[in-house]
Amino acid sequence: MTDMALEPARAAAEPAFDRARALSAFKLGDKTFFWVTRLSALFVLIILGGIIVSLIIGAWPAIRTYGFDFLFTQRWAPSLQPTPILGALGPIYGTIVTSLIAMAIAIPVGLGIAIFLTELCPMPLRQPIAVAIELLAGIPSIIYGMWGFFVLGPFLADHFEPAIVSAFENVPILNTIFQGPASNLSLFNAALVLSIMILPFITAISRDVFATVPPVLKEAAYGVGCTTWEVVRNVVLPYTRVGVIGGVMLALGRALGETMAVTFIIGNSFKISGSLFAPGTTISAAIASEFAESDGLHQSALILLGLLLFVLTFCVLTAARLMLRRLERKAGA
Amino acid sequence: MNSIYASRRRSDKIIKVLCYAAAIFGVGWLCLILYTLLVNGLVGLHPRIFTQMTPPPGVQDGGLLNAIVGSLIMTSIGVAIGTPLGLFAGTWLAEYGRYSKLTGVIRFVNDILLSAPSIIIGLFVYGAIVVPMGGFSGIAGSIALAVIVIPVVVRTTEDMLNLVPNHLREAASALGMPRAYVITKVSYSAARAGLITGVLLATARVAGETAPLLFTALSNQFWSVNLTSTMANLPVTINNFVNNPDPNWKQLAWTGALLITVTVLSLNIIARTLGAERKPK
Interface predicted TM-score (ipTM) = 0.88
Each residue's pLDDT tens digit, B247-268? 888 888 999 999 999 999 999 9
- Report whether B127 contacts A55 (CB < 8 A): yes
**Interface with A, mutate which of B5, B33, B129, B148 (most A CBs under 10 A):** B33
Percent of chain B scoring above 90 in pLDDT? 46
Confidence of residue A264 (pLDDT cuts 50, 70, 90): confident
Confidence of residue A212 (pLDDT cuts 50, 70, 90): confident
**Of A66, A88, A107, at which residue does a domain stop?**
A66
Q: Do both A151 and A222 map to the same domain?
A: yes
> What's CA A138's distance to the chain center, in Å?
13
Q: Do both A97 and A115 map to the same domain?
A: yes
Give mean pLDDT, residues B139-160: 93
Confidence of residue A160 (pLDDT cuts 50, 70, 90): confident
**Of A66, A86, A110, at which residue does a domain stop?**
A66
**Of A15, A33, A66, at which residue does a domain stop?**
A66
d(CA B158, CA B88): 10
Does B279 reach chain A within 8 Å, measured CB to CB?
Answer: no
**Interface with B, mutate which of A32, A33, A197 (most B CBs under 10 A):** A33
Q: Which of A58-62, A73-77, A89-93, B147-151 has the lowest mean pLDDT?
A: A73-77
Q: Do both A118 and A60 map to the same domain?
A: no
Residue A107 clears pLDDT 80, i.e. is over it: yes
pLDDT at A15: 56
Q: Do both A49 and A101 map to the same domain?
A: no
Q: Do both A325 and A282 map to the same domain?
A: yes
Residue A264 CB contacts under 8 Å (≥ 6 apart), including other chains = A145, A146, A148, A149, B242, B243
**Domain tally, chain A:** 2
Residue of B nearest to A122 (CA): B20
Q: Do both A96 and A48 map to the same domain?
A: no
Q: Do both A106 and A143 map to the same domain?
A: yes
Q: Do both A272 and A322 map to the same domain?
A: yes
The whole-angstrom distance between A48's CA and the closest CA on chain B is 7
The whole-angstrom distance between A3's CA and the closest CA on chain B is 9
Each residue's pLDDT tens digit, B112-149? 999 899 999 999 999 999 988 888 899 999 999 999 99
d(CA B88, CA A270): 44
All residues of chain A having their beta carbon less than 8 Å from the beta carbon of residue B121 are 51
Q: Do both A124 and A195 map to the same domain?
A: yes
Residue A172 clears pLDDT 80, i.e. is over it: no
Is omega for the bond preceding A82 within 30 degrees of 0, making it cis? Answer: yes
Average confidence score pLDDT of chain B: 88
Residue A190 clears pLDDT 50, i.e. is over it: yes
Give mean pLDDT, residues B17-35: 88
- Model-wide pTM > 0.90: no
The whole-angstrom distance between A34's CA and the closest CA on chain B is 7
Closest by Cβ to A37, choosing from B92, B235, B261 = B92
Q: Terminus-to-terminus CA distance in chain B, angstroms?
A: 45
Find the domain containing A33 and state its range. Answer: 2-66
Question: CB distance B115–A138 less than 8 Å?
Answer: no
Residue type, B133: M
Each residue's pLDDT tens digit, A223-256? 998 988 899 999 999 888 888 888 898 899 989 9
Q: Do both A245 and A308 map to the same domain?
A: yes
Q: Do both A85 and A228 map to the same domain?
A: yes
The domain that holds A93 is classified in CATH as 1.10.3720.10
Residue A2 clears pLDDT 70, i.e. is over it: no
- Report whether B64 contacts B280 (CB < 8 A): no
The whole-angstrom distance between B48's CA and the closest CA on chain A is 22
pLDDT at A330: 67
Confidence of residue B172 (pLDDT cuts 50, 70, 90): very high
Q: Do both A44 and A122 map to the same domain?
A: no
Closest by Cβ to B119, choosing from A111, A138, A288 = A288
Q: Which residues of A71-83 are buried (b: 16+ CB within 10 A; e: fewer)?
A: eebeebebeeeee
Does B16 reach chain A within 8 Å, measured CB to CB?
Answer: yes
